[in-house]
Structure 1
Amino acid sequence: MGGKWRLFVLGWAVILAGAVLAHAVQTTGGVKVTDVRFPGDKGVVMSGLLYLPPGATAAHPAPAVLISHGYINTREMQSPFAIELSRRGFVVLAMDMTGHGYSGGAVGEQGFGGPAALRYLQSRPEVDRGQIGLEGHSLGGGPVLSAAAAQPDGYRAIVLEGTTPGLLGSPATATPTTPRNVALVFGQFDEFAPLMWQVPKGSLVATSPRLQALFGAQGSVVEGKLYGDVAAGTGRRLWNPPVTHPWEHFSRAGVGHAVDWFQTTLKGEARPLDPNNQIWLWKEIGTLVAFAGFVILLLGTFELLLAAPIFAGLAAEAQPTTLKRDGKWALSLLATIAIPALSFFAFMKLGNLFFPMKAFPQWITNQLLVWAILNGLITLALGLVLRRGKSNLAKLGGPAVLLALAVMAVGYGSLALVDGLFKVDYRFWVLGLKPLDAVHARYALTYLPLWTAYFLVAIRALNANLSVKGEGALAAYATAALAMAGGFAVLVGAQYATLFSTGLLLTPTEPLNVIIAIQFVPLLAVVGIIAAFAYRRTNSYVPGALICAMLICWYVTSGTATHWSPDFKLPIPAASK
């Protein structure tokens, strides 16, 4: 029995170690992190994380900064800014935009939620209302620019990270005097340069006529030069670091320039520090460790429960029909790797036709499901061509469903515990898994049957076609991870090799979907490992497929934007057309 507990105990140990580290970093110096809710308009409830440094009190109010994540992200994405600003003495509100995270409404409604978030921040007794800054990344420029437009005198400075005025319905005013004290951080390799500043490459943003109009410059804007007058509210500064769009809010340069601007334009922070003095990456390492522990816990829970009497009948040694890695095996591996990645852009574009609706309100989720279901159909068709004979896969029923539910219940419970104790989740950069609220749980239940249909097909094909008799565990896990994630790894690698060498993506019109694809490299590798692990212990594809379906459904639903509402319709983003 001791061996059966090994992974289970290890998973918990790794989770707690990572969570404790992350919590220690984000609360360094006595900062308190609190989950807050506040009213938006029309009855919408808004969500945020409030970072309160110990010196900020009603008797000694501190300067404050409202920060916002970008499209299909959540408030946790901006923790590098929140950590660095709060440890310097700024009160920070990391908001969820409308239609994102735990905020209600749909994408873009009510000024993206920015005006309401600014009002809430101003209402805090610990905040010096005369010293408030605004920061937003990508579509996060929408809420902060909307807040600035709603209260032209309600803030002193703004940092735009990889964004532009007028993006997808945000306020478009851009003059040498409005907004107040603007700093722009825009990466030399920002994938959205043509959309945002009408220049072919991010490295050419200084030549953008729109940017020159904002800065009041007669020619190219000089990076690092202060334009205008901070005291008069007309300060302007450009930074153009060698980073990509999703790297802007996950880099020393992106975070440091924002800290520098707020330390320049806002007064009263309790602990000024060099902008390059940064510790936020350790928080991300902690939550990455916790994510790894979560995966280990899923595997350990599966193995532990399989030894219990109620599930003992499911235990069986795998019986692959493939005796060696021959030409047909190699062809199956190549097809499994290549087809999902090669079809990704075309099927995502087709998925735009799966419009948001009350039952299926998340447009990106809808697109991903179109990609998944069509790949499932292709997999079924290929199975007829590449059939290796009768499969020995067991077809398990009710007990397999119960086992998968129990495994995911333990995994979900681990995240609920970590969130409750330490106010962190499982994430690293663009990868993020967070608890579901009641609304997103309902969405997940609607989407789950579609994800389940896909994974039952995909995982069956994976185990039937690529498992080899007598192969070792590590070889099986590596093969499954490669098969599921290899195509996306090549896709992402080719895109960014081209971007870093030429300044343009391999597919310049697909920046959004390229960024979405990044997170599917680690996610699909995890899917492959779970599938192979479960198959080797049950000779069935069903338990692993069900676990993977629930995991991906949870992941996508919790972190993706809600687009449907009775009175709002978001135009299709140009980047995803």
Structure 2
Amino acid sequence: MKKTKKILVIAVLMVLLGSWLGGMFNTSMYSVSVKKIEFETERGTLSALLYMPKGAGEESKRPVIVTTHGYLNSKEMQDAPAIEMSRRGYIVLALDMYDHGDSRWEDHFEVGEQFSTFWIYSQLDAANYAAQQDYTLKDDNGNAYVAVSGHSMGGFSSLVALYMDEMASLQRGTRNIYTGISVGADYSYASAIASEQDYIAAFGDRTVGMIAGHYDEFFFGKSDDEKTEEEKAVNGTVTYKDFAATASGKMFLGVGDQTESAESEKFYTVESGELVYDGNVVRESQTGQHIIYTPNQTHPWNHFSKTTTGNLIDFYQTAFADAVTADMTNADLSSGNQIWFWKEFFNLIALIGFFLMIVPIVTLLLKAPFLRNSVTEEIDVVRVPQTAFGKSGFWIMVVCSILYPAVFFSTLMDKSASGLKILAVGGGVICAVNLILAVLYFMKKEKGRGTAMIAGAVVSLLAVLNFTLADKVIPLNGSFCEPTTNQIAYWAVSCGLIALIILFMFYGISRKNLGTKAKDYGVRLKGKTIAASFVTALAAVVIVYIVLFVVQAAFGVDFRIWVLAVRTFKPEFLVTALCYLPFFFIYYLINTTALNANCRKRKNGYLIAVLMNIGGLVIWLALQYGLDFARGVSLQPTQALNGILLFALVPCLGIAAVFARRVFDKTNNVWLASFLNTFLFTMISVANTAMFWNMG
């Protein structure tokens, strides 16, 4: 108990120290006020973090930078530009786009319409809000010095905002947006609003930039007309790109198709061309400056990069060269002078402390009168065959368990019809094999082994139904309103069913014969134990989330590193999480059972457990990106978004494996660990992605 309390104290200190220091760097050593704000628009409510340098305000107006995240993310993902530009004296509005983070689209929309809402208007509405504030600098004609920038879908939103603002300014007489730069976004989605030529015309005399990573998973590729036959043979977008050498990139830079290539990180003087609306010229051509930056980065790397942040600093210093006020004494700090990564480092320290708190809190809760019923009597270890053949079979099973989540990853995440058909056929064959083995065992009067085979056959049949009726399992609708959470939940349930088939077959074929009993797996069907475990897990998760909310209120930061974040949430996220809990519970119950059956009281058992959860996925990621950087074409070029989702999923599954083992050792059963992982990681996942609350 003394060790438990010591670990808890260390964890709490890590949370407090990490959050305090993270908050210091977030506010540039308290030289910037960071405040969460919300404002109403004609389309809903937008939430943002307002970075206000000391001295800025109505008496010292400043240029404003509106920066936003990409699909699935939130305003905190814009820490780097927000910190760096605010410490240079700019006012920064770090925005949650509609239906992301704490922002909400007001009107109801149908399934399939979700991509026609959030990104189109978010930056325009935020820029219009910023232009109306008394702290925003304007020129003598009333044009606002406001910049728009965003990553990925936020980049599309920024391009659309520039276009719509120009069109509106023709009637209004003033511009609300002075400049803009997209990060990880070309015209792919924005072309739904206007053509590339129309965008360039609308940019007019503005300074506009694009950051186009060479290894961006989605965008900046050549058009089909530009591709060689070899390039056309590649199906997918996770490949090497050079946007400045494409026809689209050269058009943006105003150099024309005849130029063999254009230079990146160089400002080009560009004639916008006439702005045409409904066949009529509504504004003459103007001369602006355009630039493309092409870092050797992937899509999610952009918003966690000193290079990209330096590009943004350089861009803004050029774009706002005539708008810097005398009070902005740090405006000329070099682009290499950056501190944002210290904020991220201390956020990581707090994040580690957050996870480190959980097991000690569970341990202390187990001392409570009712909650101690979570602990059951000790059980025997699940036995492993000691013959050479039996040992080989065990390790083959472990290796298969490591690999199959990755082998079937793309099929399950995409619900690929061809792949699911193969899995359904395979499930049918395994069902038949289980039934045949069951008959043989019953004929030998080996009832326990026969029963295990029957159970394996039933689970195989469920798996077949899961694969055959995939479109009806966790479909996108008003209840399951998070598209990527649906994908992960389906992958998890499917992997869980496969693991359960392996468990039953391995038990029936070898372990039952070795004297292993069903209870040795830790699945004890005691009502009081299950109830106490449920309450203990819920209490532990509530406690650590209370710590998060307190830290957020006190220091203005949460727990995060790159794409993995434990963030505060509004009540609707909790309602949505309840819809997903049963599906993730299926996975974590089976996962906890499998990990402890195969790893408990084994040498390097924790390492084996972690490998069983993430080993195959880590190999997949290494091959996917290793091949992309080595040869310019990834392992599976069609897996753009799904691969990115693994960057947050993999650490969660690794930590879940440790919790599954550690908590099982304290309770001698699967319930508390299963409930704990379900509650914790469902909430983390649901609160950190796009949620289309008004869809359905």
Question: Structure 2 length as normaliser, TM-score?
Answer: 0.77
Tell me, in whole angstroms, the C-alpha distance in 2 between the residues paired with 1:89 and 1:283.
18
Aligned to 1:372: 492
Structure 1 residues 313, 359: CA separation in 2 closer, same or farther (over 3 Å shift)? closer
Matched, 1:451 2:584: yes
Tell me, in whole angstroms, the C-alpha distance in 2 between the residues paired with 1:17 and 1:314.
33
Question: Structure 1 length as normaliser, TM-score?
Answer: 0.92
Matched, 1:423 2:556: yes
Aligned to 1:156: 178
Q: Report sequence identity in percent.
A: 28
Aligned to 1:329: 394
* Cα pair 2:98 2:104 within 8 Å, conserved: yes
1:150: how far off?
2.6
* Cα pair 1:7 1:299 within 8 Å, conserved: no
Tell me, in whole angstroms, the C-alpha distance in 2 between the residues paired with 1:107 and 1:444.
22
List aligned pairs for 1:348-363, cutoff 5 A: 348-350=413-415, 353=471, 354-363=474-483
* Cα pair 1:215 1:227 within 8 Å, conserved: yes
Count of aligned pairs between the two proteins: 562
1:328: how far off?
3.8
Cα offsets for 1:99-126 (capped at 9, x unmatched):
2111112554162422221122223222
* Cα pair 1:206 1:212 within 8 Å, conserved: yes
The runs of 5 or more residues in structure 2 that have no matched partner are: 106-113, 139-143, 167-174, 232-238, 273-285, 417-469
Cα offsets for 1:484-533 (capped at 9, x unmatched):
11111111111111111012221111111111112222111101011111
* Cα pair 1:22 1:283 within 8 Å, conserved: yes
SS of the equivalent of 1:62 reads coil
Aligned AA for 2:355? V
Aligned AA for 2:132? S
Aligned to 1:477: 606
Bigger drift between 28-37 and 226-235 goes to: 226-235
Aligned AA for 2:630? S
Tell me, in whole angstroms, the C-alpha distance in 1 between the residues paired with 2:622 and 2:385.
30
Which residue, 245, 268, 290 being the options, matches 1:227?
Answer: 268
Which residue, 104, 114, 119 being the options, matches 2:128?
Answer: 119
Aligned AA for 1:114? Q
Bigger drift between 104-113 and 5-14 goes to: 104-113
Tell me, in whole angstroms, the C-alpha distance in 1 between the residues paired with 2:611 and 2:122.
41
SS of the equivalent of 2:400 reads helix
Matched, 1:404 2:537: yes
* Cα pair 1:143 1:170 within 8 Å, conserved: no
List aligned pairs for 1:210-359, cutoff 5 A: 210-218=248-256, 219=259, 220-228=261-269, 234-266=288-320, 267-268=323-324, 270=328, 271-272=330-331, 273-315=333-375, 317=378, 319-322=380-383, 326-350=391-415, 353=471, 354-359=474-479
Which residue, 178, 188, 198 being the options, matches 2:202?
Answer: 178
1:148: how far off?
1.6
Tell me, in whole angstroms, the C-alpha distance in 1 between the residues paired with 2:590 and 2:81.
42
Structure 1 residues 328, 9: CA separation in 2 closer, same or farther (over 3 Å shift)? farther
SS of the equivalent of 1:302 reads helix
SS of the equivalent of 1:234 reads strand
Structure 1 residues 276, 532: CA separation in 2 closer, same or farther (over 3 Å shift)? same
Bigger drift between 427-436 and 221-230 goes to: 221-230
Tell me, in whole angstroms, the C-alpha distance in 2 between the residues paired with 1:265 and 1:466.
58
Aligned to 1:34: 35
Aligned AA for 1:116? D
* Cα pair 2:523 2:593 within 8 Å, conserved: no
- The two structures, once aligned, show a CA RMSD in angstroms of 2.3
Cα offsets for 1:439-482 (capped at 9, x unmatched):
1111111111211122111211111233236x5xxx33222222
Bigger drift between 249-258 and 326-335 goes to: 326-335
Tell me, in whole angstroms, the C-alpha distance in 2 between the residues paired with 1:510 and 1:409.
35
* Cα pair 2:70 2:153 within 8 Å, conserved: yes
* Cα pair 1:452 1:549 within 8 Å, conserved: yes
Tell me, in whole angstroms, the C-alpha distance in 1 between the residues paired with 2:355 and 2:70.
27
Structure 1 residues 318, 208: CA separation in 2 closer, same or farther (over 3 Å shift)? farther
Tell me, in whole angstroms, the C-alpha distance in 1 between the residues paired with 2:92 and 2:636.
37
* Cα pair 2:186 2:220 within 8 Å, conserved: no
Tell me, in whole angstroms, the C-alpha distance in 2 between the residues paired with 1:498 and 1:287.
31
Tell me, in whole angstroms, the C-alpha distance in 1 between the residues paired with 2:245 and 2:207.
20
1:197: how far off?
6.8
The runs of 5 or more residues in structure 1 that have no matched partner are: 568-577
* Cα pair 1:14 1:292 within 8 Å, conserved: yes
